[in-house]
Amino acid sequence: MSIALSEVQGELWAETTYYNLCHRVSLCQSMEVETLINRSISILVVDDDVVCLSIVAMILKKCKYQVVTVKHPMDALSILRIKGGSFDLVVVDVHMPDMNGFELQQVITNEFELPVVLMSADDKEGTILKGLDGGAAFFLVKPISVDDLRDLWQYALLQKKKGKRVVLEEIDCLEKSSNCNKKSLHEVGESVSSINENCYQHIKKEKSKRKSARTQRNADKDNSGNSAAPFKKAKVVWTNSLHNKFLEAIRDIGFDKAVPKKILDQMKVPGLTRENVASHLQKYRIFLERVSDACCRIQAADTSLGMLSQEKFGLQKQFSENTTNPRSLIHTANNGSSSFRTQQTRQTIPSGYEQAQLFLNEDNLGNITHSNENPLYKANQLPSTMKAKNYQTGSSAYEDISSQLMNGTTSTQVRRMLSGNPANRLSGRNLLALGTNGITMHATLNGNLNFLRDGFADDQCGTNFTQNNDADEASTLFTGHMNVIGKSQHDSEQCLAQEASSSDGFDGEKQCSAILSDHIDEETYMQLPSFVNGVCRGQEVDAMLDPVCNFSEFHNTNATQQSRGIGDLSVSFVNQGNVLPHQQQDHIGHTEPAEDGMSQLHNVFSYPTEQCKDEEFLELVLASSPYEDDQNPDGL
């Protein structure tokens, strides 16, 4: 019972009809029905030969399909990336310049999970087999006839079925909509709402009399067998693109003012109900809370690290206060002997939806190629267990990573996604996502949080934020192994990577400072006087924190917030109820109005990002990640 209420108009009708057809062969044979199905199916045709292209298009249109034609393979991909969900099938000519049909088919299959029908004048067995072996749904030999194309809808619908996306068992309602309503089914299909209305109206009427729909459904179940099949309302599947529309709507309205009805209006998705939105909003808020929780822990880590450095500079009292506070230091249940992986005490953001496909940040769109180096392609080469179970999620190369997190993309998946191609630069949002997904946390949320920084005083460290993000950038990696990787202020090559001996996370008895001093020589240490808060004098520091560190909660106070630099905004902005960076006084004495933590968090997940320029840094991070192998891809 799930229907993707994505951008695919008429999809519901098609899916429903599929079942209709399956169950009612006689209907299936009806030409009228077939035509109606076709009208709901969109086909993208790709052929560099304009004549052939127009002929195929003409035939398809004659068969009442919705047709879009494209001459260049890359254009086809662009269209699919933008409106991937709008198509049900792609017809591709094999012989094309730039990218041949086989290659294009591979990309489309992997990236969009759309059925691809190849066509070619080349009828050699080898060619045909190559196409079919490669995953093409069908191979058409030119010249193409009407008969060849008439039944293409079957491939589209089969794919839908394969994707488990389908299912609307309410056949009767469909018949009602088609019988009672003599308007074309395409028109019906144009709006999910109209379908829903048509399908559900008679139910709703009755429902109003009912005390509970559920009760009624149970009653229906009991009565089943002698009357119409019990009505089941189609589930809305929140695809990434739908979710993004949702995010956009919230952004436009403003997080605080965004309520289901307004969001619904803003989204302008036919068929979507206020209840759908409300339900999703509820889930989204829960999601943000989880992120917030996770970030609180990271904040604790950051703060502890900060205290660490302050201790070095004579603020031992402060530090010891924190260390003696059972809630403020790191506690590791198992001392030292167990492996990182067995520790597993971290709480990652629980996966929400089913496992999602790997996606790229929209920043990377330009980097996508059709070659096997395409990270998307690579991603799709993951073991099947890591692949999406839910194909609706598989079409969005440019989706917001937050939706992937909500969709349960695993930490390793995200990491892979980012590491698959060095060209995939990290955005702050990605990094936050990584953090919330239990990998690493980019404390400064490089680039992404410029809008947060803007309100800051920059006389002390704010300017530093934007000055040095190149080779001189210092980084720290703070993982469960207590790795500290960084580049000294003056020697970009110097790396402080050390690993705490047999330390899985922190030893409760071992103070952070001790761990640090164990592994960082004095000179280097002194070069990092203020890396604590993610801000190093004259340069930016990326503090990578892993929630796995098991930091206990640290309740940030106004004082500690103010004592900290700008660098910790990544972890404080989500800290509801705590003082936010915006609240910090700037050098002039103004106090920025507080912004709701959730709202800020939402912003992070919905605003466009800039790219992090430090690919080298990413390499370091990945090289040092405790999630080394893929045996346990989820790290769980």
Partner DNA sequence: TCAACAATAT
Partner DNA sequence: TATATTGTTG
Is residue 276 a contact point for DNA (CB under 7 A)?
yes
Q: How far apart are CA 5 and CA 535, in angstroms?
A: 45
Comparing CB distances to DNA, the nearer of 1 and 333 is 1
Minimum CB separation from DNA for residue 85, in Å?
15
String of contacts with DNA for each residue 342-381, x by CB under 7 A: --------xxxxx---------------------------
Per-residue string for binding with DNA, 235-274, x by CB under 7 A? xxxx--------------------xxxx-----------x
End-to-end distance of the chain based on CA atoms, in angstroms?
30
Is residue 280 within the footprint of DNA (CB under 7 A)? Answer: yes
Contact between 2 and DNA by CB under 7 A: the answer reads yes
* Surface-to-core class of residue 201, CB atoms within 10 Å of its CB (0-12 exposed, 13-18 middle, 19+ buried): middle
* Residue among 72 and 262 whose Cβ is closer to DNA: 262
Interface with DNA (CB under 7 A), residue from 104, 128, 281, 500: 281
Q: Are 213 and 368 in contact (CB under 8 A)?
A: no
19 scored as a contact of DNA (CB under 7 A): no
Closer of 233 and 312 to DNA (Cβ): 233
CB of 237 to DNA, least distance (A): 6
Distance of CA 350 to the CA centre of its chain: 14
Question: Strand 441-442 to strand 138-141: parallel, antiparallel, or no bridges (unpaired)?
Answer: unpaired
The dihedral sign for the CA sequence 390, 85, 417, 405: negative
Tokens matching residue 385: 């267990």
- Provide the 10 A C-beta neighbour count for residue 486: 27
Instruction: Give, as ranges, the residues between 206 and 225 that touch DNA (CB under 7 A).
Output: 210-215, 217-218
CB of 166 to DNA, least distance (A): 10
CB of 226 to DNA, least distance (A): 19
How many residues touch DNA under the rule CB under 7 A: the total is 41
Residue 67, strand partner residues: 43
Q: How far is the CB of 625 from DNA (least distance, A)?
A: 22
- Return the number of the residue (332 or 390) whose C-beta is nearest DNA: 390
Of how many residues is the chain composed? 636
Peptide bond between residue 143 and the one before it cis (omega within 30 degrees of 0)? yes
Q: CB 138 → DNA: shortest distance, Å?
A: 26
Which range in 150-158, 228-236, 370-378, 617-625 contacts DNA by CB under 7 A? 228-236
Alpha-helical runs (H) found in 84-170: 101-112, 125-133, 146-150, 153-162
Q: Is 495 in the site for DNA (CB under 7 A)?
A: no
Judged by CB under 7 A, which of 71, 378, 389, 613 binds DNA? Answer: 389
Taking the complex as a whole, how short is the minimal distance between the CB of residue 253 and DNA, in angstroms?
Answer: 11
Binding residue (CB under 7 A) for DNA from 278, 497, 579, 622: 278
Structure tokens at 27: 């209907």
544 - beta bridge partners? Answer: 442, 477
Give me the residues that bind DNA (CB under 7 A), please: 1-2, 164, 167, 210-215, 217-218, 233-238, 259-262, 274-276, 278-283, 285, 350-354, 389, 406-408
